[in-house]
Structure 1
Amino acid sequence: MSVQEKSAVAAVEVPYPMQSRQDLIVAAELEHDLGTLRQEYGPVVPALMPFGEGNAWIAIGYNEVRQVMSDERFVVWKHRGNNYPRLRFNEGNRPPFRMAFDKMDGPEQIARRRVLAKHLSARRVMGMREETRNKVENFLDRFIAQGQGSDLMSNFVEHVPLAVISDLLGVPAEETDIFLEAALDHMNGRITTEEQANAHITKVNAYFDHLVARRRKEPGDDLISALLNDVGGLWDDEELGGVGFVLLTAGHDSTASIIGGILFWLAHDPERFQYLKDNRDILPRAIEEFLRVVPAGTGTRVRIATEDVEIGGVLVKKDEGIHPVVHPANFDETIFENPDELNFAREGETHLRFGFGSHACPGNQLARMEIREVLDAVLDRFATIEAATPSENWRGDMLMRGPKQLPVTWTLEEDKS
């Protein structure tokens, strides 16, 4: 039976069996299934999560995903200590995970997000543009020096977000190697066992424990130092370590996946690459459309209903879990006309790539700035850039969570004659 036939069978069975893996085949099946489920069953579907106990649902319609993310009756805090239905074996504040703002609700979460928002404001992020562009240019120089056919992911994309988020957190450049392997393994899906995951998480936690202790004695011009000195004393050392882990994961992992996905698209679509070179004024709008189309994962953390809630034509009962799945919501045909089309002139509702509501990504402006600086540099430096081993099914390959490899060939602007 083909993948498509298996997907068609799976799509008519409920509860739908969600899978924790996100390799290419699973991603293709998942995207096919969820699109079919939304059309045939509706925007909220019963699901069987790979881990945990109890009933769960998946929200796959745009409006329903927004509701789950913004409705205060769906919370993350009830995860604490519960074997709730979920995609990952180990999540929440189960060891070795730390308690952090992303696992809170209500006033305690709002207070912490307000402080983070102050330090991740558009103004602060814009102040980082010049240094970010310098980093991008340096990494591009190193990439080009590798020669034609070099892998754009391992020699460029994976390094830019790590360098930027490390600067923000106050991690010295010479110390990023301590957790570089852990960060890259998480991003590239190399982790296959609970033991591997826990070992990497423990290593990153230990580093940030050390960094927090150091910044208490030797504060610097970085986010950890700023949070340590924040009036009100919101953050204890364990929380600060958790902040470091969350921002490292989101600021490196997700951002690198998105940048890789955008460059994967452009390396397979020379006409689109040239169009952006010739129409640089549309780049901000193009980035938003890429953010809608390019995946960065299957979705966000499962929420738990604190009371019975009607959503999308079904009743989610108290203490049941519901998982808002972002990527299919960004392709909801009732919201986006011709959703499978990459349309730089698209108007109307915005994507949900960075979430929505109180748990929306606090570093979304930082991610946008990094994407813009990378694209500006690539469009400036390269006259052409194309996949060295182009795939006939490259649009289907875009379903995966960022390419693991992207060997490319190119022509530099300076070499044109």
Structure 2
Amino acid sequence: MSTAPQTTKTTSYPVPYPMQSRQDIIVAAQLEHELKTLREEYGPVVPAIMPFGEGRAWIAIGYDEVQQVMSDERFSVAKHRGNNYPRMRHSEGHKPPFRLAFDKMDGPEQVARRRVLARHLSVKRVMALKPHTRQVVEDFLDNFQQQGPGADLMTDFVEQVPIAVISRLLGIPDEEKNLFRDAALDLMNGRVTTEAEANKHITTVNDYFDSLVARRRVQPGDDLISALITDVDSGTWDDEELGGVGFVLLTAGHDATASTIGGILYWLAHDPERYAFLRENRELIPRAIEEFLRIVPAGTGTRVRIATEDVEIGGVLVKKDDGIHPVVHPANFDPRIYSDPYALDLKRDEAPHLRFGYGPHACPGSQLARMEIRELLNGVFDRFPRLWAVDNADDWRDQMLLRGPKSLRVAWDQNETGENQ
């Protein structure tokens, strides 16, 4: 927790702020401006109306306050199960057939599962995936480059790498990806438009992981699912929860990572000087990644928590059964924490960002995401001395908790023989 001085104001609040679920580039810019103004004028925690659900709600938009919501056990992610609680996602009044997974648990049951997962989703396992990741990057870059300048970096490269890497981690054979890939991509990229279609895709992915777990119980491999099954504490997990782990990691390991990488490359493709600087100063890549993770927009993110008792936070009283949404992006721009917070400083060395969350529900795959981003950036830098966007269309995903460019068409330098370089 930061020791920065508190600047909470006592001014009366305006009408509760109406949060929007849309995350297209126009709405997002408006959202960022309004949340900045709210924090400056009213403080780091303000009343809000969530897009869906019922009940009183708040948004935490200060760094310390977001950390507290994410780490304080009095704010529950599990209490709202089955209730029409204030939330960002629209469920059409039905309960989608998502499997119960560790990310929807609190307290001892969450801690027990998280401990086992952390033991196997380790830095050692991540680094063992590095050679495979680099080969995947090279293979997809070959295919991308063959299309010539004007190719779409997002759909033809960025979206392809993470799903290949997370599939290897989970032990999904290459020949089986087509059994669920289209359904998973449609879900992850917000391409479903009806309840029936969403349920169909969720069931397809669930059925695949049910099959995979059953096979790994009989014939374990060197993958993460097998490691969880054969762990001495494997009795902690039942088959449904193991399938839920697969679903959560597949979703987060693809969609969140692809959105982040897309946002980073979008920035660099529109900023040739920074592209050249980072390409020539590769030792700065780890620090630069952290700064990009802090500053590149990724959507509102995280899950609304429910207060299990009255809690004072950010100078206000959040009452029992109130919802509170920790909004990560504005917290990463808190001037109490960061100097010149809206500037991209690739040498910044200040407080850790909150992009991967904080506390017991922090993203368990953060090191995997960092490794993928490093390998992808190095692959692009090795291949293209210069790379730039060939159009300025602000075509970003909307109506998603995550956001990023839908497409990014680029051109690049050629060598003296006229071949694409």
Normalising by structure 1, we get a TM-score of 0.91
**One-letter amino acid matched to 1:136:** V
Partner of 1:8: none
- Spell out the pairing of 1:115-134 with structure 2 (5 A cutoff): 115-134=116-135
Partner of 2:174: 173
Q: Is the 8 A contact 2:154 2:406 kept in 1?
A: yes
**One-letter amino acid matched to 2:349:** E
Partner of 1:291: 293
- Correspondent of 2:305 among 297, 303, 306: 303
Deviates more, 1:161-170 or 1:223-232: 223-232
| Inter-partner Cα distance in structure 2 for 1:280 and 1:412 | 22
**One-letter amino acid matched to 1:319:** D
Cα distance, 1:201 vs structure 2: 1.7
Partner of 1:20: 21
2:105 counterpart of 1:104 = yes
Cα distance, 1:200 vs structure 2: 2.1
2:410 counterpart of 1:408 = yes
SS at match of 2:47: strand
The structure with the greater share of residues assigned to helix is: 1
| Inter-partner Cα distance in structure 2 for 1:353 and 1:359 | 12
Partner of 2:382: 380
Partner of 2:53: 52
SS at match of 1:58: strand
| Inter-partner Cα distance in structure 2 for 1:43 and 1:364 | 26
Q: Is the 8 A contact 1:382 1:413 kept in 2?
A: no
- Spell out the pairing of 1:10-409 with structure 2 (5 A cutoff): 13-90=14-91, 94-232=95-233, 233-390=235-392, 401-409=403-411
Partner of 2:5: none
Partner of 1:4: none
Closer/same/farther in 2, CA of residues 14 and 197 from structure 1, 3 Å limit? farther
| Inter-partner Cα distance in structure 2 for 1:393 and 1:235 | 41
Q: Is the 8 A contact 1:73 1:306 kept in 2?
A: yes
Structure 1 gaps, min length 5: 1-11
Closer/same/farther in 2, CA of residues 412 and 364 from structure 1, 3 Å limit? farther
SS at match of 1:383: coil
Cα distance, 1:319 vs structure 2: 1.0
Q: Is the 8 A contact 1:298 1:326 kept in 2?
A: yes
Compute the RMSD of aligned alpha carbons. 2.2
| Inter-partner Cα distance in structure 2 for 1:54 and 1:169 | 39
| Inter-partner Cα distance in structure 2 for 1:327 and 1:48 | 18
Q: Is the 8 A contact 1:23 1:400 kept in 2?
A: no
Q: Is the 8 A contact 2:23 2:403 kept in 1?
A: yes
| Inter-partner Cα distance in structure 2 for 1:336 and 1:200 | 42
| Inter-partner Cα distance in structure 2 for 1:305 and 1:280 | 45
Q: Is the 8 A contact 1:85 1:302 kept in 2?
A: yes
* Count of residues in correspondence between the two structures: 401
Deviates more, 1:112-121 or 1:183-192: 183-192
Deviates more, 1:108-117 or 1:17-26: 17-26
Q: Is the 8 A contact 2:284 2:346 kept in 1?
A: yes
Q: Is the 8 A contact 2:217 2:226 kept in 1?
A: yes
Cα distance, 1:15 vs structure 2: 1.1
| Inter-partner Cα distance in structure 2 for 1:143 and 1:215 | 34
Deviates more, 1:290-299 or 1:360-369: 290-299
Cα distance, 1:41 vs structure 2: 1.5
**One-letter amino acid matched to 1:315:** L
**One-letter amino acid matched to 1:246:** V
Structure 2 gaps, min length 5: 1-12
Closer/same/farther in 2, CA of residues 339 and 183 from structure 1, 3 Å limit? farther
SS at match of 1:79: coil
Cα distance, 1:198 vs structure 2: 2.5
Q: Is the 8 A contact 2:257 2:369 kept in 1?
A: yes
| Inter-partner Cα distance in structure 1 for 2:405 and 2:394 | 15
Cα distance, 1:192 vs structure 2: 3.6
Q: Is the 8 A contact 1:70 1:358 kept in 2?
A: yes
**One-letter amino acid matched to 1:140:** L
Closer/same/farther in 2, CA of residues 184 and 393 from structure 1, 3 Å limit? closer
Q: Is the 8 A contact 2:148 2:420 kept in 1?
A: no
SS at match of 2:341: coil
Cα distance, 1:88 vs structure 2: 0.8
